[in-house]
Structure 1
Amino acid sequence: MKLRFAAVVLLPYSLAHGEPRFTQNDFGGVGLLQTPTARMAPAGEFSLNANRTDPYSRYSISIQPLDWLEGSFRYTAISDRKYGAEAFSGDQSYKDKAVDVKARLWQESHWLPEVALGFRDVGGTGLFSSEYFVANKRYYNLDFSLGIAWGYIGNRGDFENPLGYLDERFDTRPVNTGADAGDVNTNSYFRGSPALFGGVSYQTPWSPLSLKLEFDGNDYKHEPLDNSLKQDSPINIGAVFKLTDSVDLTAGWERGNTALFGITFHTNFASRKAPAKRYDPAVEALPAHAPTTPLDQVDWAGVSKRLENNAGYKVERIAQRDSELIVYGEQSRYFYSAKGVGRASRILDNSANDEIDWFTLVNKRYDMPVDEVSVPRETFRAVVNNQQDLTDLHRTTELNRATPHIENTLYTQALEPFTYGFGLGYKQNVGGPDGLLYQLTADVDAEYRFTRNTWTSGVISTNLLNNFDKFTYDAPSNLPRVRTDLRKYVITSDVTMPTFQLNHAKQLDQDLFGMVYGGYLESMFAGVGGELLFRPMGERWAVGADLNFVRQRDFDQGFGLRDYNTVTGHITTYTELPFDLQAAVSVGRYLARDWGATVDLSHEFTNGVKFGGWVTRTTASKEEFGEGSFDKGIYISVPFDELMSVSTMRRANLVWAPLTRDGGARLNRQYSLYTMTNGRDKDAFYKNFEKITE
């Protein structure tokens, strides 16, 4: 039996920040109140923010993938403006979506300030768009900031644009009405009259409390949607109180006449300590001396059971080659492969006589040999017994491509064909006239293996709670409705079958993997398809391709099909970039029959937490795509191993996209060869090598 999870809730985990603390501004991102600063949160920081300053309610997510790069996704409700006519959206207030980004240009030194360049509302409606340079300098418990901004932050327009001397077009800034929602607004960058902004934050002697004083660069006479606001003073003041290590409360007085209240939940996924694995089985102690039982008389069935229960290996067979003991199996429990290897080595050391000098674990995925790890027995024993340093084991442990051996098979284990699990699922949709829509489900998944590399898998989902029945707005689309019929797929039936498919995978060559599949591939599409992946062992790049013929499913997600069908597929390159970034670039045909490319950039921390974002541009025009102009979003992928008191290989994937549209929509395939062959990433193994002793 296995547990299945599909969503995670951010909880206030303890995180001790060293002073000074870098707190969030009203819009999301490190800053004062209305304005940003050049400061950055520590890499790995995640913040969920909510605040109210009449007439704006702002909800934002801020992530810090690198120590010099900050990104935010924001959702703003403008309470004194309606989304549209009452017949269209009822009494819903206007909703605005935006993405912000800020990059540090250089760090603070003894004489020089920290300097950052930022863009607010890039790729959203542009109603709050702004570009700025800002600098910060610290003096004891005071942190001063000073910046220059174009657009919303600098709407006061203190002086003529100095860039106008280069080109007179910089003298005026195009008026943004939100009609080009989703554009990156490059035609407005650094245009118009800029203004100065700045302020100071003060960390009081009472550590939970910090104070803020800000000089606003906006005079609020040119607010979006002709919503001019009265400003009695450009000075804003505020206070941030650290309620717990992961919860901040903010109060302030802005524009000289309006109160601010806010709350921030934050944690650091890179530095926070994962919970102790209290529910993992205890590691086996090493024997004082190697056993003396001949290898052909060892209870290998019992060893196999221990390898599964304690080390997470579902054993296929155990073999001997000279002084090497080889275990072929599939790791099914430990996110850190070094941890499974170490536990397996302990078990083998307890079982094999002194004929054996090496333990080799061949890691397979659906019978595809992905990698093999070879551990020197004596060095491993010495390190575990604190007689040698871990670096000696690091240097002598080998991670290689799995290759065939001439060997003597000691034991073969029968395949366990059937597994199943339970979990919760969560869907959400934001950004339309209906506000936030959500669904919570109870899911049962099952897998039956006909052979080790041919299997069928499926999910049955039962609706527990949702408000999609309030979803009365189907967004206009000039493309085939491949995603915008979301409401109908959610509310038509309380019991659904999101997936049910037959799969076959195979290693075609030493670095080439293939897979074919067919059935009900996702909640909206059924069909057949195949994937190829070329991934050399230990290389920081790979190339894959998938091709699928699919047909749209009935709204009840049963066995029925609709008339729409298409061919979709992509060629994808995966590569490592400078600054510890990973890139996946896909080129091909999407579900709505549009052609284009998706660029996905991400950063993965040592513990497996990944922050990323994507942009898709296709042949679908702005008019065909609709609001948003093109597909984009941000995501966080968190190993459940970082959140739970028991080891698991499962992940929680949290995705925020401004809108659900038909353009740039990809098939949500259940299996990916790139993920299935992650054991070929040597960096991930050696970065967490210390887990081999746990």
Structure 2
Amino acid sequence: MRRTALHGYCRAALALLAGSAGLAHAQETYTQSDFGGVGLLQTPTARMAREGEFSFVLSRTTPYTNYNVSMQPLPWLEGSFRYTNVSNRLYGPRSLSGSQTYKDKSIDAKVRLWEESRWLPAVAVGARDIGGTGLFSSEYVVTSKRAGPFDFSLGLAWGYMGARGDIANPLNVISDRFETRPTGGTGTGKFSTNKFLRGRPGFFGGVEYRSPWDWLLLKAELDGNDYKHQPQKNNQPERWPVNLGAVFRINRNVDLTVGYERGKVVTAGLNLHSNLATHVDPPKSFDPKPEPVAVETRQAGTPPPERKTPEQVDWPAVAKELHDNAGIDVSRIGRRGSELVVHGEQQRFFYPAEGVGRATRIIDNRVDESIGWLTIASERNGMPMVETSVHRPRFIELLDNRLDLADFRRSVEQDPVTPRDEEVLYRAPLKRFTGGVSLGYQQNLGGPDAFVLYQVYGAASGRFNVSRNLWLDGVLTVNVANNYDKFKYDAPSNLSRVRTNLRQYLTGSDVTMPNFQLTGTRRLGQDLYGLAYAGMLESMYAGAGGEVLYRPFGERWAVGADINWVKQRGFDQDFSLRKYHVITGQATGYLDTGFHDVTVAVSVGRYLAGDWGTTIDVSREFHNGARMGAYATVTNKSGSAGYGEGSFDKGIYVSIPFDMLLPHSSRSRATLLWQPLIRDGGARLNKRYTLYTLTNDLDSDLFDKNLEKIRD
């Protein structure tokens, strides 16, 4: 089964695409093609969107409807994932899928080799439909050069885009194997490298005209495809190989394309897009206002606050204000000479600098001049993370505009937490129980039962704290609406069914308990952290396990390992268990490369089906915390008959902080994951907590890149 999972609030992710919040700068005028990715209509150009661009394109060119997701994680790299609905072909036998039409999935990539200069054009190479059936597979090289309002492109393509075969393959001089292109695809999700650059190529190109009006662009292209010899013998009429189109920019987030292609068909496309790197957060109208400090109250003509010695301050009241206004769940407050230390966990503000700034305001309003420094000793689930110290007088100078941000940064220190003598002024009682309710949404795309299988559910979560390092928590869900009555197909598998019995778990009960576990954390030593857990660990597995992570403060790397004994849960997701059990776990290395904020994580170990292998995850995080990434898992069962269609596990994802979307601050995230196929090979345990995530406060980049929020 092909799957797309949407975790978190679906409405927030849709708000991002629909443009509920603006961008910091005007969008580039480079627009998406019918196939997704920057281009003309049917063909790409050498142009790239601005880094951080995220687009959803829906286009219709009879008999094909394309659903495209395109991402621009780097200035020179574009990636796309696509489903194509072929409206005049059936998915399969009617006994399997009824009257559902054929769906094809594709992965595309484009790399810019160099940018345009005064004399030279921009040049890019790329490939479409890299794996799978290969119906639309194509490789190409394309150039683009601008002349005033005109942007000209010319390219040479092999495969689908160059099927007209204008010239003999120039690579024939290397080997005669380039002369003929194999027909068909791998059909298993493998990368179809046996086709690359083979067969007779065809020319394509065109021009885009930027009109005097910002809302209108015009396009004309020479299409290199041969529509009279289409895949699946789905031949289409063609009067001439020229396509014409216009793009209407409805607003900065919505483009509408209309065209006339092949001299035969009218086409249309809708592009919803946003830039994750430059996205401007909506006003936080639901957040409390930060406390004004003395310089601000004087400017407003109100009396300054009354300050007291640390011994006279009502610290329980201060702890409450730190929670309500600065988002810090205080565990204790102490003093080290002229330094006041607030220990606690940030629970509201995504950007650490914002919580630190609000806390400094609160302390400055209550404590006399005997305190010169304020330190926020951040914790996460009872584990000390990092100490952020602010020089109080310099902070006031910053708020009074007597100091710029760059100079102020030299008055802020971030250090690892080390044991030090401290006079305890206040120790907060442990809050035993927390909980809440929410709505959730999940969906599966592209299966034979229906293109979209969805569920809307209500969720209640609760947590009981035994101590700050030990807690019991869980989630209970209730079905609100779904179309799972159509869900009947189980994917074939020759491995242990560790994931392909997804249908039974989703349709087993209207009331489920996806998670119920006891979790403990501990700081095992300087830069060394531990995690242990037991219970119903995820919707399909129960068991026990542990994890350790070594993450040196101030470094860009970390190493960790986990090991778990798990047993398969009953399909109703209650306390019942099935017979299958396995020991699984991986050792993982993490590296922030320092190159465009790209992080690489490599895991090696044993997976749920008992197979052994490696997972590589590559992601780009932007300064505001938004992340784009992709992963692939290859095991000793990959590529074999036992694995089945898909050959190996892979997926692409976007992770968006809710803080970018909502009118109130939040530390939660929405993660959109596109996993083309669910198979049993390379399957990992979906743990609720991981140490790398729990220790994210050790990454100072988010603090430094958003230091301006310390004023908020």
Identify the TM-score tier after normalising by the shorter chain.
over 0.9
Q: Distance in 1 between matches of 2:441 and 2:690?
A: 21
Q: What is the deviation of 1:281?
A: 0.8
Cα displacement (A) at 1:15 = 4.3
Q: Is 1:120 aligned to 2:137, yes or no? A: no
Decide which moves more: 224-233 or 341-350: 224-233
- Decide whether the 8 Å contact of 1:199 with 1:213 is kept in 2: yes
Aligned equivalent of 1:407, options 406, 422, 438: 422
* Partner residue in 2 for 1:44: 52
Partner of 1:601: 618
Contact 2:24 2:280 in 1 (8 A): no
The match for 1:69 is 77
Equivalence map 1:509-524=2 (5 Å) = 509-524=525-540
Within the alignment, does 1:579 sit opposite 2:596 as a pair? yes
The structure-2 alpha-carbon separation of the partners of 1:219 and 1:5, relative to structure 1 and needing over 3 Å to count, comes to: closer
Matched with 2:383 is: 368
C-alpha distance in 2, partners of 1:512/1:49? 45
Aligned to 2:337: 322
Q: State the one-letter code of the partner of 2:173.
A: Y
Q: Which moved more, 1:73-82 or 1:178-187?
A: 178-187
Does the Cα contact within 8 Å between 2:162 and 2:204 map onto a contact in 1? yes
Q: 1:202 aligned to 2:209?
A: yes
Alignment of 1:350-429 (within 5 A): 350-429=365-444
In structure 2, the residue matched to 1:650 is 668
**Partner residue, 1:631:** 649
Query: Could you list the per-position Cα deviations for residues 88-107 of structure 1 after superposition, in whole angstroms to 9, with x for gaps in the alignment?
Result: 11111111111111111111
Match of 1:447 in 2: 463
Equivalent pair of 2:643/2:679 in contact (CA under 8 Å):
yes
Q: Summarize deviations over 1:343-402 as a string: whole Å, max 9, x none.
A: 111111112111111101100111110111011111111111111111122112011111
Of 68, 82, 85, 2:93 maps to 85
Contact 1:6 1:653 in 2 (8 A): no
Shift in Å, 1:262: 1.4
CA distance in 1, matches of 2:518, 2:558: 26
Give the equivalent residue in structure 2 for 1:641.
659
Describe how 1:192-271 pairs up with structure 2 within 5 A. 192-271=199-278
Query: Which stretch of the first structure deviates more once superposed, 618-627 or 554-563?
Result: 618-627
- Counterpart contact for 2:131–2:186, Cα < 8 Å: no
Q: Is the 8 A contact 1:331 1:340 kept in 2?
A: yes
Aligned partners of 2:120 and 2:456: how far apart in 1? 51
Matched, 1:102 2:102: no
The more displaced of 107-116 and 117-126 is 117-126
Q: How many residues are treated as equivalent by the alignment?
A: 690
Say if 2:704 is the partner of 1:686: yes
Partner of 2:608: 591
Per-residue deviation at 1:6?
4.7
Aligned Cα root-mean-square deviation (Å)? 1.5
- In structure 2, the CA distance between the partners of 1:115 and 1:476, relative to structure 1 (3 Å rule), is same
- Whether the aligned pair in 2 keeps the contact of 1:290 and 1:352 (CA below 8 Å) is no
Query: What code does the residue aligned with 2:274 have?
Result: T
Distance 1:385 1:17 in 2: 28
SS at match of 2:14: coil
Report deviation, 1:287.
2.4
2:640 match: 622
CA contact (8 A) 2:27 2:252 kept: no
- One-letter code of the match for 1:422? V
CA contact (8 A) 1:180 1:629 kept: no
4-13 or 89-98: bigger deviation: 4-13
Amino acid at match of 1:608: G
Contact 2:509 / 2:572 at 8 angstroms: preserved in 1?
yes
- What aligned pairs does 1:424-439 form with structure 2 within 5 A after superposition? 424-434=439-449, 435-439=451-455
Aligned to 2:4: none
Q: After TM superposition, give the deviation of residue 642 of structure 1 in Å.
A: 0.2
Contact persistence 2:186–2:192 (CA under 8 A): no
The separation in 2 between residues aligned to 1:271 and 1:198, in whole angstroms, is 31
Letter in 1 for 2:561: A
CA deviation after TM superposition for structure 1 residue 63, in Å = 0.9
Three-state SS of the structure 1 residue aligned to 2:329 is strand
The letter for the 2-side match of 1:678 is: N
SS at match of 2:489: coil
Which segments of 5 or more consecutive residues in structure 1 lack a partner in the other structure? none
1:130-166 Cα shifts (integer Å, max 9, x gaps): 1111111111111110001111111111111111101
Deviation at 1:290, TM superposition (A): 8.4
**1:463–1:494: 8 Å Cα contact kept in structure 2?**
yes
1:492-507 map, 5 Å: 492-507=508-523
Q: Specify the SS of the correspondent of 2:291.
A: coil
The amino acid across from 1:462 in the alignment is: V
User: Please, which moves more after superposition, 426-435 or 351-360?
Assistant: 426-435
AA in 2 matched with 1:562: R
The runs of 5 or more residues in structure 2 that have no matched partner are: 1-6, 296-303
Structure 2 CA distance for partners of 1:504 and 1:422, relative to 1, 3 Å = same
Q: Which residue of 2 aligns with 1:539?
A: 555
Task: Determine the C-alpha separation between the residues in 1 that align with 2:680 and 2:442.
Answer: 17
TM-score w.r.t. the length of structure 1 is 0.97
Instruction: Give distance in 2, aligned partners of 1:127 and 1:318.
Output: 64
Shift of 1:20: 5.8
Check whether the contact 1:125–1:183 (CA below 8 A) recurs between aligned residues: no
User: Counterparts of 1:472 and 1:83 in 2: how far apart (Å)?
Assistant: 15
1:555 maps to which of 571, 589, 613: 571
| TM norm structure 2 | 0.95
- C-alpha distance in 1, partners of 2:692/2:141? 40
Contact 2:28–2:49, Cα closer than 8 Å, also in 1: no
Selected match of 1:528 from 544, 547, 550: 544
Matches of 2:316 and 2:307 in 1, distance apart?
18
Contact 2:106 2:131 in 1 (8 A): yes
CA distance in structure 1 between the aligned counterparts of 2:461 and 2:640, rounded to whole angstroms = 39
1:29 and 1:245, CA in 2 relative to 1: closer, same or farther beyond 3 A? same
Following TM superposition, the consecutive aligned residue runs of length 4 or more in structure 1 with deviations greater than 4 angstroms are 15-20, 288-292
The secondary structure found in structure 1 opposite 2:35 is: coil
Letter of the 2:286 partner, please give it: Y
Partners of 2:439 and 2:642 in 1: CA distance: 35
Asked if the contact 2:619/2:628 (under 8 Å) is kept, the reply is: yes
Measured after TM superposition, the shift of residue 684 of structure 1 is 1.8
Q: Spell out, residue by residue over 1:389-446, the C-alpha distance to the aligned partner (whole angstroms, 9 max, x if none).
A: 1112211201111111101111111011111122222211112212221111111111
- The structural deviation recorded for 1:581 is 1.1
Helix, strand or coil at the partner of 2:677: coil
Question: What residue number does 1:10 align with?
Answer: 14
Residues 574-602 of structure 1 deviation map (CA, whole Å, 9 limit, x = unaligned): 10223331111111111111111111111
- Give the whole-Å Cα distance in 2 for the aligned partners of 1:50 and 1:100: 16
